[in-house]
Amino acid sequence: MSSSAGRSIEVDLLRGLVLIAIAIDHISVSVLSHAMLHNYAYCDAAEVFVFLGGYASASGYANLAARRGAGAARRRFVRRAWEIYRAYLLTAGLMLACGALVARLPIASELVSETGWIDFSHQPIRGIGEIAMLRRQPFLSAVLPMYMLYALSVSFAIPFARRKPVLCFAGSLVVWLAAPWLAAMVPGVAAWPFNPFAWQLLFMLGMLCRLHPVPVQMQTSKAGRVLTAAAFALALTFMFVKVCIETHPSPGYMKQNLASVRIVSFLALAWLCAQAVRLGWVKTLAERLPSVVTVGKQGLVCFVGGTVVSIIVDSGVRLAHADTNWFGRIFGDIVAVVALLALARLAADWRARRTGGSGARVAAPAARLARVMPDGRAPHDGRGR
């Protein structure tokens, strides 16, 4: 499952697809949103994103620790937490700015209240303090504080998960079971849209799957085939219930506290996806969709950018009075996807130029020596060395 630079091309593809799905899901007039996961399962892109975050964190920590030591890996994830916090502040600011802009447009949109602009405009100073302290998380910025906490926990969670996987999973399960009470004990956390004490279970499962992968022999054994059949049956059952029986959306607290049915639904789909990875189907798809893989590689940039893209497209379609027109709505979806692909490409090119520039500075002395010594030998220093 590896690609260049020790990355998994399959994971990058899945992350890219999830980031696109998150953007589409938050366009209320979207047509493609009807094909998204939440319509056919009791989980959605959030579960996939958190699980893959744990998987990628374990992979990144292990690779960096192997090359430069555990200390360097710990420092990197502390910096990563700081990067996520800054991205959260940026996203929160963008959400409020979008709310202020949409409030001035001649359209009826729930985005004004969802972004939190109305409350913020009444008490902006207090609002800034609450946002900085994570007590208020405007709209789509809400997932990032949880990720920041997980990034800080990686340095001690991964070594523990590597040595004591069963104990680690058991502890994570206990925390999930007690998540509502734990959140109530920490000021402000009970109001978070994503209870970090609950969602850590999926992040931990992602880490454990990277550190202790299920052997291929087990996946292809009789027990593995039984699990595959059971996962397929569960997925079909949940799909039937969502499409044919359930008429109302699930209560918000089920997602906030990661209800057990969401975990079971996700695990069934994850097992089926793992079989697709084993058979090489996901890798083949990734090789044919390099632009989506790039979105996955530029995850944080595309998440922040995708939040703005969602609001702009939603408001633009409404402003053009195309929210009841199928063609106008699908055109908005296409614009959102293309914008994310373009943003990922720009971010990748900028990162490549920045890395290439530093590499060029390091390589310059060697290049000058090569011009002086065409045969590649080091110049003689006159002292027999």
DSSP labels for 303-353? HHHHHHHHHHHHHHHHHTT-TT-HHHHHHHHHHHHHHHHHHHHHHHHHHHH
At 290-308, the pLDDT tens digits run 999 999 999 999 999 999 9
Name the burial class of residue 187, with classes exposed (0-12), middle (13-18) and buried (19+) by CB atoms within 10 angstroms of its CB: exposed
CA–CA separation, 260 vs 117, rounded Å?
33
At 311-354, the pLDDT tens digits run 999 999 999 988 888 999 999 999 999 999 999 999 999 999 98
Nearest to 315 by CA among 144, 100, 135: 100
In the block, residue with structure tokens 């890996």: 73
Does position 368 have pLDDT exceeding 70, yes or no? no
pTM for this prediction: 0.88
Q: Helix count (H) and strand count (E) of the chain?
A: 18, 0
Does position 22 have pLDDT exceeding 80, yes or no? yes
CA–CA separation, 195 vs 175, rounded Å?
11
Name the burial class of residue 326, with classes exposed (0-12), middle (13-18) and buried (19+) by CB atoms within 10 angstroms of its CB: exposed
Strand ranges in 95-246 using DSSP code E only, listed in sequence order: none
At 89-115, the pLDDT tens digits run 999 999 999 999 998 988 877 888 888
Predicted pLDDT of residue 129: 95
Which DSSP symbol is given to 248? S
Residue 171: pLDDT band by 50, 70, 90 thresholds?
Answer: very high
Residue 5: pLDDT band by 50, 70, 90 thresholds?
Answer: very low
At 213-253, the pLDDT tens digits run 999 999 999 999 999 999 999 999 999 999 999 877 778 78
Which DSSP symbol is given to 374? T
